Amino acid sequence: EQALAFARAQKNYAVLTAPFAGIITDKPAQPGAMALPGAPLLTIERSGSLRAALNIDESQARTLRLGLPLQLFLEGAEPINSRISEIVPALDPASRNLIVRADLPQSSGLRSGQFVRAEWATGERETLSLPASAVRESCQLQIVFVLDNGAARSRMVTLGRTLNGRREVLSGLSPGEKILTSLPAALTDGALVEAK
């Protein structure tokens, strides 16, 4: 009876039961090998939705909060809208990065291990912009033509970033001023223009 009880106990050690439904993705232990404490036997990927783990530089950590909307980008795929679902409270001491996790939709068709980039808003500000076609660049000068009593007047401006075909105006223009968005090569300062 004692031998039977021992055999049953040994048999129970040979059966592994996962705490969740999933797929085995790695088997580092070989059949017949001794199971050692701390040595993984199997790697199981939980069935269902995936999460993106993002390494964020500590300088960006102050802009993050739970529920913050993100856009995730994978090569060759449409952007995925998500939200921050977890922020690990401690920085990685080696890389000085913060780990942030975002839930992914189940229907995204993604696989674990894929590389993903993330974008999120760090703040908002109102800015003046104009179409990139309204700018004439000459000898490192940026010039726009402002409509002044039916005449085109050239004005030097300082421009910032370009986004979606528009240039940010840092100085040289005021809100409400009318500019010419199409600049013929023959257009000069003081030329008479007519709105179409």
Tell me: pLDDT of 150 over 80.
yes
Q: What is the arithmetic mean of pLDDT over 82-102?
A: 87
Does the pLDDT at position 196 exceed 70?
Answer: no
User: Mean per-residue pLDDT for 124-147?
Assistant: 86
Q: Is beta strand 97-103 parallel, antiparallel or unpaired with respect to 51-57?
A: antiparallel
In percent, the amount of the chain with pLDDT more than 70 equals: 97
Whether this prediction's pTM lies above 0.85 is answered by no
Give me the mean pLDDT over the 59-68 stretch.
85
Residues in the chain: 196
For the chain, give the percent of residues with pLDDT over 90: 2
Backbone phi, then psi, for 98, in 5-degree steps?
-105, 135
DSSP state of 4: H
> Quick one: pLDDT band at residue 107, thresholds 50, 70, 90?
low
User: Which has more pLDDT, 109 or 158?
Assistant: 158
At 108, the pLDDT band (50, 70, 90 cuts) reads low
pLDDT given for residue 123 in this prediction: 75
DSSP annotation of 33: P
Tell me the mean pLDDT in the region 100-120: 81
Q: Is the pLDDT of residue 43 over 80?
A: yes
Burial of 187 (0-12, 13-18, 19+ CB in 10 A): middle
Q: Do 74 and 80 contact (CB within 8 A), yes or no? A: yes
